[in-house]
Structure 1
Amino acid sequence: MADPIRRRGRPKKSQPEAPGTVQALDRALDLLDLLASRSGLTLSEIADQAGQPPSTVHRVLHTLAQRGMVESDPTTQAWNIGPATFRLGSAFMRRSGIVERARPILRTLMEHTGETANLGILQGNHVLFVSQVETQETIRAFFPPGTRSPLHASGIGKALLAFGRPETLDALSSAGRLERFTDKTLTNPDELRADLARIRHRGFSFDDEEKTRGMRCIAAPVFDLSGEAMAGISVSGPTHRIGSEHVKTLGAVVAAAAASLTEAMGGAAQ
């Protein structure tokens, strides 16, 4: 029988400390778990959602920051997951095999389309890029492993939102106004939901200069055994090579590549 799912950010006040556990470490991991699911929180917001005293949260965060596990924005004082977590995540990704299994698929996709192929996973309100095969073209997209991109303004991000859990979109919408990067960024939640419905219907997403002017991206989801979107594959490049007339054809190619990775990982499409 599966363990019940505990809601993120809720204190475990009613649960006694398990024998043999370290309470301080458990609290620190709770904070990491919270920031992984909802980045950009202030200290008081973290303390409130984690059910821990602000003074304790402050000490834990600064300890984690010294190891690069979390970081604070000096302008907004908001806390986010840190770059050191990528190294730990990469170790898991190596064990799960998705990066290795995706590599030949990404290379074939790049050679077929002539554009940079990417692999990304969900990290809070962002896509975390974990692998890339670059095109040899002079003008090209570049998302080195460890780069993060907002879900609502990226091809993989919208694919994960469209085929992922509804609460991910709900959390994104409730976090506040969606950030605008260009005049094409979908900052209205209703417009974003309408776009996600179109994505589910056709099977791939389209980032039409929504993050960066002059760049487009087409992406499709990769599913795990339970049929949940666990990652996304995309091709990205400049608008003069990815014209509107090419979107449907490229979308079918990207969706086929994502389906191949789903099969390689033993997953099941929705």
Structure 2
Amino acid sequence: MSVKSAERVLRIFELLSANMDGMTIKEISEMLQLPQSSTSGLIKTLLHENYLSVNQQNRFTLGPKLIPIGNAAMESLDISSLGYPSLKELMELVEETVFMAVLADKELVYVAKIDSNRSIKTSAYPGGQKPLYCTGLGKTYLAFMNEADRVNYLNTVELKTITDQTITDKEELEKKLQAYKQQGYAIDNEENEDGLYCLAAPIFDMNGEIQAAVSVAGPKERMLRQKERIIKHLKQKAAAISAKLGYVSKEGV
């Protein structure tokens, strides 16, 4: 198989991964601007090797042989290492401290921290744990996790007062989480540490499930002065890391 053919196979995989209902040979050749004859030959080879399947509508979809390959790729990914370049770029763009965290046993665990030259005083550090309900990163998880897990968490957690700004009313927290999901980022307004303001966004895997969250944190007044700019860069870098995990946005954002 020539290099050109290999590139065409990769484009076919990418196209079908974004069109889960399947596509015909004609649609694939038109979308990729390839000759229908050569597209047909590639499709038949991939179908024979089980890299593609045919559904009930006689449309081609990704095949079962790709499943173990995709699983192996996911297991080999280290999210913090994979995301480090984007986290560093984010820190340089906004000149504030950047964090990444994952979920472990209903607690937030920090896996990365990149200080700016305007470092802040914070109790957060790589390996450290924090509650979900009072941190930007944690509320990002709550906003974007599946509903059953969120309901289970809110039914069992005790919302303790950590600062004067901590939300301790579950109905109020749920309303905030709905708003965060709609806007694509969460806010910690001095709810975990006095004076500290945090903006956080989700990182999704290829299945659209949240796998990590990234945040920008700094003194409230300084953060508010460039809030919109931070949100723009934060969402862009979170999306870039998600893309490395195989996530394809359904909304183009």
Per the normalisation by structure 1, the TM-score is 0.62
Contact 1:140 1:238 in 2 (8 A): no
Structure 1 unaligned segments of length 5 or more: list them: 1-92
- Structure 1 residue 125: Cα displacement: 2.2
Instruction: Say which of 92, 113, 136 aligns to 1:132.
Output: 113
Cα distance in 1 for residues equivalent to 2:75 and 2:81: 7
- Structure 1 residue 124: Cα displacement: 2.3
Superposed CA RMSD in Å reads: 1.9
Percent of pairs with identical residues: 29
Instruction: Say which of 93, 100, 104 aligns to 1:119.
Output: 100
Secondary structure in structure 2 of the residue aligned to 1:99: helix
What is the letter of the counterpart of residue 98 of structure 1? I
Instruction: Say which of 183, 198, 220 aligns to 1:239.
Output: 220
Cα distance in 2 for residues equivalent to 1:267 and 1:126: 24
Instruction: Name the residue aligned to 1:257.
Output: 237
Q: Larger Rg: 1 or 2? A: 2
Contact 2:122 2:193 in 1 (8 A): no
Secondary structure in structure 2 of the residue aligned to 1:267: coil
Secondary structure in structure 2 of the residue aligned to 1:132: strand
Cα distance in 1 for residues equivalent to 2:157 and 2:207: 31
Instruction: Say which of 98, 104, 122 aligns to 2:79.
Output: 98
Instruction: Name the residue aligned to 1:164.
Output: 145
144-153 or 245-254, which deviates more: 245-254
Task: Classify 1:170/1:132 alpha carbon distance in 2 versus 1 (closer, same or farther; 3 Å).
Answer: same
- Structure 1 residue 252: Cα displacement: 1.9
State the 4+ residue runs in structure 1 displaced beyond 6 angstroms. Answer: none
Cα distance in 2 for residues equivalent to 1:269 and 1:230: 15
- Structure 1 residue 143: Cα displacement: 2.6
Cα distance in 2 for residues equivalent to 1:176 and 1:199: 20
Instruction: Name the residue aligned to 1:200.
Output: 181
Secondary structure in structure 2 of the residue aligned to 1:240: helix
Structure 2 unaligned segments of length 5 or more: list them: 1-73
- Structure 1 residue 98: Cα displacement: 1.1
Task: Classify 1:269/1:221 alpha carbon distance in 2 versus 1 (closer, same or farther; 3 Å).
Answer: farther
- Structure 1 residue 140: Cα displacement: 4.3
Cα distance in 2 for residues equivalent to 1:138 and 1:233: 17
Per the normalisation by structure 2, the TM-score is 0.65
